[in-house]
Structure 1
């Protein structure tokens, strides 16, 4: 997992003008890499800054590819839901990295590796620890570039580059 400013849509500097490095490795082979460190935290904790924003959250998050070709998703999902789009995701419990959200478009019921029927809006409540840990079967080789279209208070300059995920026992709440 990388903060990839170089390939994101945002500027290569943060709010106070501090330059961001092209890439910061956050997690490498399952182990913690570097942390995002703002100039303020740098001064407070006497550690070097890497130009992170005051919130110290990724603004150009990139997750590496998996081994599953997108053309093989359906045959690897014998029975369950194919979710092609998440409308929104909010944290319901930050400590446990629990997220809640809704699907919007392209959600289908599958059986025998074939689409059976469209499914209406589905709410989910799940933890990233399970989805990216014990319940993760694989991720797609192909990744999608997702610019953040948020406009609350101002336009977002964030983005993500993410693979699809094949997850077992995904917790759907309605």
Structure 2
């Protein structure tokens, strides 16, 4: 049984890290696409569940670190090397670290603020009257911009912010 638990836990830790990085990449791509359309998400209000997640992140990370230290101390003090190897212990600690990183990325890169901003922009677009002389088939101004253009793709419109 030696080393198998470590291998499984290292694989789980790698899965946590890969899932967290994939989530971060998806959210950053969605934010860039929304910004290209002039939609900027607002910061969550103090009574928001998203703000509660930001507040709880250091507490959860503290308890993950506490569990890691406690696991390490008890492994050494109780003679854990009789049943498991140090590689297995490192796998358990890697799972705790991987989960902490995964949870931090999930809290730091939320999709809920993007959904709120998208719905606020859609509601504003439905209620706004069409502009004089606006062509419905015209391409946005940023479509013809070169790929290395660092200017914001606002197209002359003020950014639409999400609801608070």
Answer with 1 or 2: which has the greater Rg. Answer: 2
More helix by share: 2
Tell me the TM-score normalized by structure 1.
Answer: 0.22
More strand by share: 1
Higher relative contact order (CA 8 A, sep 6+): 2
